[in-house]
Structure 1
Amino acid sequence: MIIQSLLDTDLYKFTMMQVVLHHFPGAQVEYRFKNRNAGVDLTPYIDTIRAEIAGLCALRFQQEELDYLSGLRFIKSDFVDFLGLFQMNQKYITVAAAPQHDGQIEIVIKGPWLYTILFEIPVLAIVNEAYFRATQPTPDYAEGRRRLQAKIALIRDDPALRDCKIADYGTRRRFSRGWHEEVIATLKRDFGAHFAGTSNVLAALRDQLIPLGTMAHEYLQACQALGPRLRDSQIFGFEMWAREYRGDLGIALSDVYGMDAFLRDFDLYFCKLFDGARHDSGDPFVWGEKLLAHYQKNRIDPKSKTMIFSDSLDFRRVIELTLRFKDRTVLAFGVGTNLTNDLGYAPLQIVIKMVRCNDQPVAKLSDTPSKDMCDDQAYVNYLRQVFEIAPR
């Protein structure tokens, strides 16, 4: 089996799931899969993907895993009790060839948010590994190791980058589970204090690393349907997060409506309450300058806040961002595909995104247009109007 533990996923799935349990237990959602790679035929792997999902749905949390989660300061005991009873259910997910017969596949996840939220990351990992097992049966691990060591040396051996810290965010797009494990072990051994931790909870448990993550786009998207008023949905999402975590897990995601709309809602209260913000679309240098200026405008010392960059990063871009913003704020970087799927083969650019909540369309309108995903253009147009986002 590709996925052998329900902890083999990103931490923010659990932090969001706890909010869902406590505040939105009745929410119904729909997620859809999208492959952004032109000309990649995924249909030959449908049977493998289905079989792996069946195996995923047979898993239960083990006592050691529950004990680990209960030891995290922000995870509450009733949530751990719920996970002790939890099991993923195949009835909420379907995998089929797309009706247009163009090599695309349709993966639809539909059901209660509380019972479907954990599908995304392991299913993406399954699709990746099924594809690369078939297309690269004899992987060039020597090349992968050479590339990884070259990246490590870029930062480790430069005194100007002594405070640069990078975390592994690569579960969903990894080449394979085994390669992911080797990458993390190598970083732990050879990268020293530059290795900040991992978003993967199983790896954090196994390798005694810091698990990292707060919220993802789906959380703020769902708030479009769950909040009292669409225009206030981003504010509602941040307030509900603060109600649950009381100042902990204080990194706000900034690109569900674009940076300008984020800053209009991220007022003095949120500037003080949240520890910082995460970049995930658009020009990272422009984003960083805007955020620093916003803090200064609100009389907040930017050096007391954290900026996390996580959008399609490679190590050279990490270095560029470090040199631009170091000594001006606290910096952190999450690197995904470039860490866990860089053996010389073209990686898959695949996502699973929430498209509906409580039978209402939901969307994200990021600063990178290709990252937008919604099946209702009329709703997208309305969302742009409500949040004062110019058409592209």
Structure 2
Amino acid sequence: MIITSLLDTDLYKFTMMQVVLHHFPAAQVEYRFKCRTEGVDLTPYVAEIREEIRLLCGLRFSESELEYLGSMRFIKSDFIDFLDLFRLNEKYIDVQPSPKGNGEIDITIQGPWLHTIMFEIPVLAIVNEVYFRNTQRRPAYQEGRGRLKEKIALLSRPDYGDCKIADYGTRRRFSREWHEEVILTLIDKLGDQFAGTSNVYYAHKHNLTPLGTMAHEYLQACQALGPRLRDSQIYGFEVWAKEYRGDLGIALSDVYGMSAFLRDFDMYFCKLFDGARHDSGDPFAWGERLLQHYADNRVDPRTKTMIFSDGLDIPKVLQLFERFGHRCKLAFGVGTNLTNDLGYQPLQIVIKMVRCNGQPVAKLTDSPGKNMCDDEAYLAYLRQVFEIPVLAGN
């Protein structure tokens, strides 16, 4: 059994789920799976993936897990009461070989947002682990340990003592076993330089800080749930602030690209939110633009946090630290490069929301190829509304 606890997911699933419970309990959504890695045949593993999902749907939160979640100051008691009754339901998820016959698989999740939001992270972890345990029956753990040691050595240099990283690698990890070994090694070797993990299960088990705020799906859903499309990003930030009253104050910047984000992220939001997270496009250009935006809005950038989380490896972390470390607060979330670096090609797999309340939703980021929407007319309309240029690959 790959997933043994419903806590084995990212914190932002719980923070978004609480917003859904309190503000959008009737919303209906659809998610779809995509493997961006070419030439990978996942169809032999469909039955095994289905069985792991069946086992996942049998899990419930334990009393100790609910007590842990309830100890977080931003988690409310009625949400804990809901989680006490919660389980994932198999009827909302379907796994099939793609009719294209090209080795791809179709995973569709469809139903109430409140009851489907928790599928994404564990299902991605299941697909990864099923694939790698079948294709790499004798894992190169020694190679992985050597690579991890090199990363730690880079971070341990005296001039990088203030550079902290966090684990963001649940969804694309090689395996649950390897994920935990990486975390334990980072705790042992990095000490305070290891800031925590997005994985709530390991945060609970190893007394780490759980990290995360919002993901793309939240702001995408607001396209269908807000008063009008042009104000959907503003609406999403306002609802978030209303729910958390100053907690969890990191805004996601790339659902419509940086230019559209900065148009909406005015002085009010600059002062209200603690910072922003980068997840697509050139991180150096993004950081410079955000720092200038704070200055233009009479906000001291040194009081704000920039979080970088897009395909990071340690050399890039150190380059970003050198560029911005003395100019603002920094945080780095490293995912695949920590939890799936054993010498094999990692799977670039995602599960994205594609509809909310029957309406197409999408993100148009600063990285071509990251978008998932099958409605070209809607994408064109979205670009027009948010003044987004067409990029190659989008």
Cα deviations across residues 44-75 of structure 1 (Å, max 9, x unaligned)?
Answer: 00000000000000000000100000000100
Identical aligned residues as a percent: 73
Separation in 2, partners of 1:60, 1:142: 35
- Note the alpha carbon deviations across 1:132-187, whole angstroms, 9 max, x for none: 0000000010110110011001011x222111010000000000000001000000
Residues 1:205 and 2:211 aligned together = no
Cα distance between partner residues in 2 of 1:4 and 1:329: 39
Partner of 1:327: 326
1:266-324 Cα shifts (integer Å, max 9, x gaps) = 00000000000000000000000000000000010000000000000000000000000
CA distance in 1, matches of 2:59, 2:198: 20
SS of the residue corresponding to residue 369 of structure 2 reads helix
Cα distance in 1 for residues equivalent to 2:80 and 2:162: 35
In the alignment, what sits opposite 1:99?
A: 99
2:271 matched residue in structure 1: 272
Q: Distance in 2 between matches of 1:56 and 1:132?
A: 19
Aligned residue type for 2:35: N
Structure 2 distance, partners of 1:37, 1:327, is 37
How many pairs are equivalent?
391
C-alpha displacement of 1:391 = 1.4
Give the gaps of 5 or more residues in structure 2: none
Question: 2:44 aligned with 1:44, yes or no?
Answer: yes
**Alpha-carbon distance in 2 for matches of 1:95, 1:67:** 33
Task: Show the counterpart of 1:150.
Answer: 150
AA matched with 1:164: C
2:161 aligns with: 162
Work out the CA distance in 1 between the residues paired with 2:250 and 2:152: 26
| Cα separation, 1, equivalents of 2:82 and 2:214 | 20
Shift of 1:375: 1.4
Distance, in Å, in 2 between the alignment partners of 1:375 and 1:244 is 32
- In the alignment, the residues of structure 1 paired with residue 74 and residue 369 of structure 2 have an alpha-carbon distance, to the nearest angstrom, of 34
> Quick one: distance in 2 between partners of 1:94 and 1:118?
15
Residue in 2 aligned with 1:282? 281
Aligned partners of 1:160, 1:292: CA distance in 2, in Å?
A: 23
Residue 247 (structure 2) aligns with: 248
What displacement does 1:13 show? Answer: 0.1
Name the amino acid aligned to 1:7.
L
TM-score (norm 1): 0.99
Q: Secondary structure at the match of 1:196?
A: strand
State the Cα distance separating 1:240 from its structure 2 match: 0.1
Distance apart, 1:192 and its partner CA: 1.1
- For 2:283 and 2:372, the matched residues in 1 are separated by 21
Aligned to 2:261: 262
CA shift for structure 1 position 390: 1.1
1:19 aligned to 2:12?
no
Find the aligned partners of 1:159 and 1:182 in 2 and give their Cα distance: 25
Residue 309 in 1 paired to residue 308 in 2? yes
Counterpart code for 1:54: R
Which structure 2 residues correspond to residues 321-360 of structure 1 after superposition, within 5 A?
A: 321-360=320-359
Equivalent residue number for residue 2 of structure 2 = 2
Equivalent residue, structure 2, for 1:231: 230
Instruction: Could you tell me which runs of 5 or more consecutive residues in structure 1 were left unpaired when the two chains were aligned.
Output: none
Letter of the 2:216 counterpart: H
CA distance in 2 between counterparts of 1:257 and 1:160 reads 36
Find the aligned partners of 2:73 and 2:166 in 1 and give their Cα distance.
20
SS at match of 1:238: helix
What is the match of residue 116 of structure 1?
Answer: 116
Amino acid at match of 2:55: G
